[in-house]
């Protein structure tokens, strides 16, 4: 099924299928990538509700942070929403673009638990799209750290299909300065690839009631493209895995010059020891080194496989007797 889907990405001409999409991120609701994707998904015929943090919340993982006051105590990202404004609200000219003074995970909940039932007759969401993040989210180290991923797996917890997208353009940019019609603009290329991906998902869904199985999400990472790359405007799709030989975590190293600690990406045996999924798939880091986008399928069932559980059980001795 996975092979068929990825093959479809390369070969199918996709008809317009209007679906209900909740769009979020961790770079704030005024980041260039999310705005480009919002307009691209709408142009593709989808009904899109954007609900994203009012300020940059990268690195907050799945933390469920909510406003502690009804008004903002400081300006939102780039000063777009001023201190003293409501802690949540929407663009005056578009009530499908909402901000929330919270984390990506709580922004998803705000959209599902408040905005949709209050303003949109509790419309059922077909898919949560998180991102595209400004910066990649590769390997389990970023799976737990990334706010983009936190929004994704919190949606999956609730039984809602979700896909995280992350780009290689780490510029934390304001859409008012950087969103344009330039076909070489990475934000526009990523937006087009998001549409291509989700439209293929909806097409291959067929008569199924869900676009993804329960408890399953997808992590997609894009390589550098457009004016940030050489000859990469339309990266292909490669099925990948989160763990494996090229997966990494972080360790601390003391910088003898500054006297401060710094983080260093490091390969650890616990991540290389793949016990779930297809161990023959390439790792995400390997895939995005070329003009390819990694597509990793994950599950939020974090229990160990039965074989490992049975290996550990004897170590408890008489603890449970």
Q: Is the pLDDT of residue 5 over 60?
A: no
Q: Is the pLDDT of residue 11 over 60?
A: no
Q: Which of 85, 67, 63 is nearest to 75 (CA)?
A: 85
263 within domain boundaries: no
Q: Retrieve residue 136's tokens.
A: 């990649």
254 within domain boundaries: no
- Compute the average pLDDT of residues 14-19: 69
Pairwise pLDDT comparison (136 vs 3), residue with the higher score: 136
With bands split at pLDDT 50, 70 and 90, how would you rate the model's confidence at 316?
very high
256 within domain boundaries: no
Could you give the CA distance from residue 71 to residue 244 in angstroms, rounded to a whole number? Answer: 45
155-183 pLDDT tens trace: 999 999 999 999 999 878 999 999 999 99
69 within domain boundaries: yes
321 within domain boundaries: no
- Compute the average pLDDT of residues 238-251: 93
With bands split at pLDDT 50, 70 and 90, how would you rate the model's confidence at 127?
very high
Kindly state the percentage of the chain with pLDDT values over 90. 86
For the chain, the domain total comes to 1
Q: Residue 171: its pLDDT value, please?
A: 76
**DSSP string covering 164-230:** EEEES-----BHHHH--S-TT-HHHHHHHHHHHHHHHHHHHHTT-S-SS-TTEEEEEEPPP-GGGSS
CB distance 293 to 278 below 8 Å: no
Could you give the CA distance from residue 280 to residue 239 in angstroms, rounded to a whole number? Answer: 10
The residues carrying an active-site annotation are 166
Q: Residue 16: its pLDDT value, please?
A: 55
| Residue 239, domain extent | 2-243+269-316
- Compute the average pLDDT of residues 204-225: 96
Q: Which of 242, 318, 321 is nearest to 277 (CA)?
A: 242
Q: Is the pLDDT of residue 1 over 80?
A: no
CB distance 224 to 281 below 8 Å: no
With bands split at pLDDT 50, 70 and 90, how would you rate the model's confidence at 141?
confident
Could you give the CA distance from residue 78 to residue 3 in angstroms, rounded to a whole number? Answer: 42
CATH of the domain at 210: 3.40.1210.10
With bands split at pLDDT 50, 70 and 90, how would you rate the model's confidence at 15?
low
Q: Is the pLDDT of residue 6 over 80?
A: no
- Compute the average pLDDT of residues 126-138: 96
Is 77 strand, coil or helix?
A: helix
135 within domain boundaries: yes
Kindly state the percentage of the chain with pLDDT values over 70. 95
Q: What is the mean pLDDT of the chain?
A: 93
48-100 pLDDT tens trace: 999 999 999 988 888 999 999 999 999 999 999 999 999 999 999 999 999 99
296-310 pLDDT tens trace: 999 999 999 999 999
Q: Is the pLDDT of residue 258 over 50?
A: yes
259 within domain boundaries: no
253 within domain boundaries: no
CB distance 46 to 19 below 8 Å: yes
Is 107 strand, coil or helix?
A: helix
């Amino acid at each position: 099924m996975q092979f068929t889907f990825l093959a479809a990405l390369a070969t199918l001409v996709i008809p317009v299928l209007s679906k209900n999409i909740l769009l979020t991120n961790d770079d704030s609701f005024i980041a260039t990538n999310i705005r480009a994707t919002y307009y691209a998904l709408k142009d593709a015929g989808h009904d899109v509700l954007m609900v994203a943090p009012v300020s940059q919340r990268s690195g907050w993982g799945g933390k469920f942070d909510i406003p502690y006051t009804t008004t903002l105590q400081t300006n939102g990202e780039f000063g777009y929403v001023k201190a003293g404004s409501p802690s949540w609200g929407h663009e005056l000219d578009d009530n499908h673009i909402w901000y929330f003074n919270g984390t990506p995970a709580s922004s998803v909940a705000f959209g599902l638990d408040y905005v949709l039932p209050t303003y949109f007759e509790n419309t059922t969401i077909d898919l949560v799209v998180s991102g595209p993040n400004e910066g990649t989210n590769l390997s389990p180290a970023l799976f737990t750290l990334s706010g983009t991923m936190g929004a994704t797996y919190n949606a999956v917890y609730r039984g809602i299909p979700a896909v995280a997208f992350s780009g290689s353009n780490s510029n934390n940019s304001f859409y008012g300065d950087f969103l344009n019609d330039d076909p070489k603009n990475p934000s526009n290329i990523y937006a087009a690839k998001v549409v291509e991906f989700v439209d293929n998902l909806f097409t291959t869904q067929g008569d199924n009631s869900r676009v993804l199985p329960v408890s399953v999400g997808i992590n997609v990472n894009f390589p550098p493209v457009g004016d940030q790359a050489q000859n990469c405007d339309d990266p292909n799709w490669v099925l990948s895995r989160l763990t494996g030989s090229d997966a990494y975590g972080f360790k601390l190293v003391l910088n003898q010059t500054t006297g401060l600690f710094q983080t260093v990406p490091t390969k650890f045996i616990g991540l290389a020891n793949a016990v779930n999924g297809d161990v023959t798939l390439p790792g995400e880091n390997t895939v995005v080194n070329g003009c390819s986008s990694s597509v990793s399928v994950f599950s939020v069932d974090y229990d160990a496989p039965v074989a490992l559980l049975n290996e550990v059980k004897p170590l408890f001795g008489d603890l449970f007797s």
